[in-house]
Chain A
Amino acid sequence: MNENAGGGIASMLMGSGPVVIAVLAVLIMFSIISWAIIAFKFGYIRKSIKESQDFLDSFFEVQNVDRMFSASENFRTGSLPRVFRAGYVEYSSMRDKSTVTQLRERVTLAVKREVNSESKRLTHLVPFLATVGNTAPFIGLFGTVWGIMSSFQNIGLMKSASLAAVAPGISEALIATATGLVAAIPAVMGYNYLTQKIGQVERDLEDFAPDFIDAYLNQ
């Protein structure tokens, strides 16, 4: 143990078997990707919400779809401006060619399609966090179980069950569980936060999409 203490975690890693090392590598990869998704999505959704809010402020202030379309050029990441732009493009292309009913159907369809597209964009990569949150502890546990199995085999070979013989192996094996939890906990927290924010944006899209359609047709 004292020998381990000299190098600490490094010594324990060096003493681990190939399966435990592979498990650790997978878990570290999971952790890296999870953090990247959390950071990427956090920035993206935050910006989307902010731009949607700014766009809505302008929308209620201006009350003119043509000018709103011009203003929406400044909010290219926001979900609401993107839905508005999709509906406006459809409305512009069809307003001289079809009746009001047909126009409403086409614009409604275009808006609905864009809402779905936005929803997909927002939730893209997020389920991976749930996967990591659910599976990482079990993967870590697998590494630990495997490490303890190897440890017990060594104990059998050494013909000694002293603490000095048992403890290092179990200590090495438990690194896998610890790493699994380190990967899973931020993933679960990030998933819950992002899901809640995405739900908020989606509710906004559902709420304001009919208002956009009315705004086009009442122009």
Chain B
Amino acid sequence: MSTREELTRDQKRFAVWVFIAATAHAALVVLSFLMQLYYLRTHPPVKIVTVSLVTLPGTPGPAGGPAVPEQPPAPKPVAEVPAPKPLEPPAPKKIPEPAPAKKIVPEEKPKSDKADLADALSRLKKQTESREAGKGISSSLASLQKKVASQGKGPAQGSGSGGGGGLYGQGGGASDPYKSKIAGIIQNNWTFSEQMLRTTRGMEVYVAINILPNGTISQIRFDQRASSEYLNNSVKVALQKSSPLPALPREYGSKPYWIGFVFTPEGVTK
């Protein structure tokens, strides 16, 4: 005996249930978003550290890596310069940390120019610590890089040849040891994983930092941001962690100094 009235009443009841179900679904979706946000806040994602290799500014060739086949293995202290390409560290390898210089550098001569540079840097840092002055490191590094540049095949890569305009790539050729040093420090403080990016295309961050004579980073300026906030933020954190940097060498004068860096998923270049 389903009269029209009963049918209408059933339809109304059903419509009410549809509305309730729709509301419940919406609430569930909103709740899941909120739960996820809450979970992310309470359980921050585990940091994945991929240590990219630092190509020392002005140093030819890739900055280390597992294999550099074209380099002659034997006694040459500095190997041949491969090609004047921009800095492209090919493989994740950590260069020796510049700051803690307690480690004693092994005596035997490494077979690649990168290793040579690393050893030389370590020795120089040791000297620097003992003397508390930047004379030794500056001259040693300068002579070392001169040596490298003289053995290289072409213009040095990385920091841009010819001292182009702006802060980036103004070093050119065998570059400033101070800049190399701070590049190393920043690289070591940079916690970044390429896997966290959906694409590496266009992922370049151009940052200029203002360094006070005592080495403190007084200002960080993003000249070009990457599309990934993760990359931008990691750069900012790395710079903040790196401050204070070593004091500015005398040749920089007593005024604050601007230095530009380019952060790419492959590493830091100057």
Chain B nearest CB from A115 CB (Å) reads: 12
Contact with B along A23-42 (1 / 0, CB 8 A): 00000100111011101100
A163 near B2 with CB under 8 A, answer no
If over half of B's interface residues share one DSSP class (helix, strand or loop), that class is named, otherwise mixed; here it is helix
B21 near A158 with CB under 8 A, answer no
Can you show 30 pairs from A to B with CB atoms below 8 A apart? Answer: A1-B195, A1-B198, A2-B45, A2-B196, A3-B198, A3-B228, A3-B230, A8-B37, A8-B40, A9-B32, A9-B36, A31-B25, A36-B18, A36-B21, A37-B14, A39-B17, A40-B13, A40-B17, A82-B1, A86-B1, A114-B1, A117-B1, A117-B2, A121-B2, A125-B14, A158-B201, A162-B195, A164-B196, A164-B198, A164-B199
Which residues does chain A contribute within 8 Å of B40, judged by CB atoms?
5-6, 8
Interface bracket on B: 20 to 34
Q: How far is the CA of A28 from the CA of B28 in the complex (A)?
A: 12
Which residues does chain B contribute within 8 Å of A86, judged by CB atoms?
1
**Please, which residue of chain B has its CB at the minimum distance from the CB of A10?**
B33
Given known pairs A1-B196, A1-B198, A165-B199, the reply for A36 and B25 (CB within 8 Å) is no
B2 near A8 with CB under 8 A, answer no
**Please, which residue of chain B has its CB at the minimum distance from the CB of A89?**
B1
Chain B nearest CB from A32 CB (Å) reads: 5
Which residues does chain B contribute within 8 Å of A82, judged by CB atoms?
1
Given known pairs A2-B230, A31-B25, A121-B2, the reply for A164 and B36 (CB within 8 Å) is no
Q: How many residues of A contact B (CB 8 A)?
A: 31
Which residues does chain A contribute within 8 Å of B229, judged by CB atoms?
3
- Chain A CB within 8 A of B247 CB: no
Q: How far is the CA of A9 from the CA of B196 in the complex (A)?
A: 17
Contact with A along B219-254 (1 / 0, CB 8 A): 000000000111000000000000000000000000
- Chain B CB within 8 A of A85 CB: yes
Residues of A within 8 A of B (CB): 1-3, 5-6, 8-10, 28, 31-33, 35-37, 39-40, 44, 82, 85-86, 114, 117, 121, 125, 158, 162-165, 168
B20 near A163 with CB under 8 A, answer no
Q: How far is the CA of A9 from the CA of B45 in the complex (A)?
A: 16
**Please, which residue of chain A has its CB at the minimum distance from the CB of B199?**
A158
Q: How far is the CA of A2 from the CA of B32 in the complex (A)?
A: 18
Which residues does chain B contribute within 8 Å of A162, judged by CB atoms?
195
**B1, B14, B198, B201: the one within 8 Å of A40 (CB):** B14
B21 near A35 with CB under 8 A, answer yes
Chain A nearest CB from B154 CB (Å) reads: 28
Shortest 9 CB-CB contacts between residues of A and residues of B: A8-B36, A36-B17, A35-B21, A2-B196, A36-B18, A36-B21, A40-B17, A32-B21, A39-B17
Chain B nearest CB from A8 CB (Å) reads: 4
**Please, which residue of chain B has its CB at the minimum distance from the CB of A6?**
B40
Chain B nearest CB from A125 CB (Å) reads: 7
Q: How far is the CA of A90 from the CA of B25 in the complex (A)?
A: 47
A85 near B198 with CB under 8 A, answer no
